[in-house]
Structure 1
């Protein structure tokens, strides 16, 4: 049976193989988070409108769109949510295990732009010392801040 499957697989080749793989494997969304620091080493945190009321503070985050490189997702998300410009840095973490989502986190450096919040998603944006983070933070984001090295 395995030999028949292997021969059939060779015959399918190209786009048809990809369609079979897509239908037979899990399809995931990719959430991308940025540990954004300024020149002083402070971390950009956002108070998210749609997050749980007891944990509204967290790092800039969003989902990658089709064809987008993950470091550019954080550039786009930070710009959309805050108006700030960032330069992506090293990969901090890749985590699976969620039902339909993979989480990717990058360091990023604030390089410009003017603060202009997307008030639909973001209530506040502030720079915090990594040693003085606000109450109501996502624990996973505290771990990312600790895992990322200062800029």
Structure 2
């Protein structure tokens, strides 16, 4: 069987090969989180409207758009949710194994002096915290990203 498939595979090079691969493999949404710090080392934490009440506080988070660079997803999401401009840094977390999503997290640095203006549809509140003063009702995985321990 493999001897028959190999010549056929070579014969359909290009876009048709990619289409077959796309149909045959898993599709994922990519959740992207930003660990945004200011010059004082404080971290931007949001109280998300759509999250469960017992853990509404978390980092700026969203899903990558089709074809979007994941580091640029952080830039876009922070801008949309808070009006702030950030410069993406290094990738600090990558996790797969979920049924329909992959999670990534990047460090990001606040740039400029734009005022904090929250998107009230998604965000109830946005505040700067030191790693030692994070809110109680915060996502554990986001707390771990901030403190540098490995999220579960």
TM range (shorter): over 0.9
TM-fit CA distance, 1:4: 1.1
Counterpart residue number, 1:101:
101
How large is the RMSD of aligned CA atoms in angstroms?
1.0
4-13 or 43-52: bigger deviation: 4-13
**Structure 2 CA distance for aligned equivalents of residues 146 and 13 of structure 1:** 47
TM-score, length-scaled by structure 1: 0.95
**Structure 2 CA distance for aligned equivalents of residues 36 and 21 of structure 1:** 36
**Structure 1 CA distance for aligned equivalents of residues 138 and 7 of structure 2:** 53
Counterpart residue number, 1:118:
119
Listed as ranges, the gaps of 5+ residues in structure 2 are none
Counterpart residue number, 1:43:
43
Partner secondary structure for residue 76 of structure 1: helix
Please list the CA deviations of residues 39-98 of structure 1 after superposition, one character each: whole Å capped at 9, or x if unmatched: 010100000000011000000011111121111100000000000000000110111011
Partner secondary structure for residue 131 of structure 2: coil
**Structure 1 CA distance for aligned equivalents of residues 125 and 103 of structure 2:** 23
Task: Give the total of aligned pairs.
Answer: 148
Counterpart residue number, 2:146:
145
Partner secondary structure for residue 54 of structure 1: helix
Answering whether residue 125 of structure 2 is matched by residue 128 of structure 1, we say no
Counterpart residue number, 2:10:
10
Partner secondary structure for residue 45 of structure 1: strand
TM-fit CA distance, 1:132: 1.3
Partner secondary structure for residue 135 of structure 2: coil
**Structure 2 CA distance for aligned equivalents of residues 10 and 42 of structure 1:** 54
Structure 1 stretches of 4+ moved >2 Å = none
TM-score, length-scaled by structure 2: 0.94
**Structure 2 CA distance for aligned equivalents of residues 29 and 132 of structure 1:** 32
Listed as ranges, the gaps of 5+ residues in structure 1 are none
Partner secondary structure for residue 136 of structure 1: coil
